[in-house]
Amino acid sequence: MPNKNKNKSNMISKKTIDLLQFRIQEEEQSSRIYLSMSQWLENEGYINSAKLWKKYSDEENIHAGWARKYLLSFGVLPNTPMLKKVNGSYKGFPDIIRKSFKHEIEITKQIQELANYALKIKDNMLYALSEKYLNEQVEEHDKMQNLMDQLKSFGTNKTAMRLLDSSLKNNSK
């Protein structure tokens, strides 16, 4: 059986390949997590929020594509990763917001490690890719921090959650 990770150009290290394969896996896992949240939200009547989390899910697949394209540009065939089962049980919309916020912090740490590695090995192309991910994380944090702030400021009762869901209508487009 041929080696799927064969490096045709020899311009990319095995560690870089492994880090980008991991990035693909984590972005696809994020997509599944957000899809699970979207389905829960829709099932509970949070229609606008469900659409927004579905949009987040779709965006995560795009992010996985960035690492795939990078690997392919060096002649490395990306893996199609096995993904963990997502526990689709949530305590409520506030729980989903908190878990999403925590998840984005973890993803940011991973991407910072990728950027630090790129700087360490002086790989400007890999750093440019990691910078693209880092810029995306600033946007992700802004969205989640805003939602966390709203939970803190307005509470988590049913009326506040209904108003929050309504306010997210334009964000899901």
Per-position DSSP letters for 121-170, written without gaps between them: TT-HHHHHHHHHHHHHHHHHHHHHHHHHHHHHHH-SSHHHHHHHHHHTGG
Between the alpha carbon of residue 90 and those of residues 9, 67, 151, 166, the distances in Å are 46, 30, 16, 20
pLDDT in tens, 58-95: 999 999 999 999 999 999 999 988 999 999 899 999 99
Residue pLDDT, tens place only, 92-129: 999 999 999 999 999 999 999 999 999 999 999 999 99
Give me the helix-helix angle, 124-154 and 93-120, nearest 10°: 160
Instruction: Give the pair of three-digit tokens for residue 94.
Output: 């506030």
Q: Which long-range contacts (CB under 8 A, 24 or more apart) does 38-42 make?
A: 39/88, 40/88, 40/89, 40/90, 40/96, 41/93, 41/96
Residue range 141-153, pLDDT digits in tens: 999 999 999 999 9
pTM of the model: 0.91
Sketch out the chain's domains with CATH numbers.
Answer: 14-172 (1.20.1260.10)
